[in-house]
């Protein structure tokens, strides 16, 4: 159901930037950096992965979005063909895995490095470039927004599993909602709305989503 007033219609749309993505990754790393080593084997919220695997999955998301923008002529019909694989049945199928011997410090470095790759690609890729995504061929802004959503909601999953408090900035949530979820309600709390739009929370006055998607194609 399309709400009577969407977030983008109500507020106008401010672009999502590389600085926004950098902020999201930095905030995620800051809250996760102090997690003790023994906690990483616990389940990440409602996910079927443990917390270590969830950070690897997030890192893989950020890396893969950067990779899509990397070729001189980015692919429009599929992903850059890295070899993805799970390390256990039911684990996330990643190209990026962190060396367990490096411990949580190394895991955070992998997350930071993957985020930095996407930040750099968003900064340096011309805005007219398009690259494949299953939910619509996207531009650099779209890949930045997707990276932010992945970072914010998976840090939510991790915070649930680790018993941490996590509320990202409302303005950041509003910008990615307007870019990727243009029909999301416009008068509700941005962070709760983003959790609702990704199937993770109830939103008063709106049915709980059992399936969801974003719209990564440019809006204009």
Instruction: Give the pLDDT confidence of 63-99 residue by residue, as tens digits.
Output: 999 999 999 999 999 999 999 999 999 999 999 999 9
pTM for this model (two decimals): 0.94
Model confidence pLDDT, tens digit, residues 159-172: 999 999 999 999 99
Alpha carbon of residue 146 to chain centroid: 5
**Side-chain half-sphere CA neighbours of 96 within 13 A:** 27
Q: DSSP 3-state assignment of 85?
A: strand
Does residue 207 fall inside a structural domain? no
| Dist. CA 111–CA 117, nearest whole Å | 10
The mean per-residue pLDDT over the stretch 165-194 comes to: 96
Does residue 159 fall inside a structural domain? yes
Phi-psi region of 171 (alpha: psi -120 to 50; beta: other; left: phi over 0): alpha
74, 161, 66, 44: which is closest to 115 by C-alpha?
Answer: 66
Question: Is the confidence at residue 12, as pLDDT, over 70?
Answer: no
Model confidence pLDDT, tens digit, residues 109-118: 999 999 999 9
| DSSP-assigned beta bridge partners for residue 149 | none
| Structural domain span for residue 118 | 7-197
134, 191, 136: which is closest to 165 by C-alpha?
Answer: 191
Q: Looking at the 3D structure of the chain, how many domains does it have? A: 1
Does residue 1 fall inside a structural domain? no
**Integer distance in angstroms from the first to the last C-alpha of the chain?**
22
Does residue 128 fall inside a structural domain? yes
Does residue 98 fall inside a structural domain? yes
Strands (E), 69-217: none
Confidence of residue 49 (pLDDT cuts 50, 70, 90): very high
Does residue 70 fall inside a structural domain? yes
Q: Are 56 and 150 in contact (CB under 8 A)?
A: no
- What is the domain-level CATH number for residue 142? 1.20.120.450
Q: What is the DSSP letter of 76?
A: S
């Amino acid at each position: 159901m399309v709400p009577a007033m969407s977030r983008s219609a109500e507020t106008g749309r401010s672009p999502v930037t590389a600085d926004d993505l950098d902020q999201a990754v930095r905030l995620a790393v800051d809250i996760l950096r102090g997690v003790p080593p023994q906690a990483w084997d616990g389940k990440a919220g409602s996910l079927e992965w443990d917390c270590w695997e969830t950070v690897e999955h997030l890192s893989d998301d950020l890396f893969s979005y950067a990779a899509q923008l990397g070729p001189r002529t980015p692919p429009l019909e599929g992903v850059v063909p890295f070899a993805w694989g799970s390390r256990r049945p039911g684990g996330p199928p990643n190209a990026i895995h962190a060396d367990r011997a490096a411990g949580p410090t190394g895991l955070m470095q992998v997350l930071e490095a993957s985020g930095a790759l996407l930040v750099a690609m968003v900064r340096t890729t011309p805005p007219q470039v398009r690259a494949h995504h299953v939910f619509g061929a996207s531009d650099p802004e779209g890949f930045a927004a997707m990276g932010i959503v992945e970072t914010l909601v998976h840090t939510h999953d991790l915070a649930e599993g680790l018993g941490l408090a996590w509320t990202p900035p409302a303005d950041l949530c509003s910008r990615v909602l307007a870019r990727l979820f243009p029909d999301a309600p416009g008068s509700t709390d941005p962070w709760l709305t983003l959790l609702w739009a990704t199937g993770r929370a109830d939103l008063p006055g709106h049915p709980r989503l059992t399936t969801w998607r974003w719209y990564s194609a440019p809006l204009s």
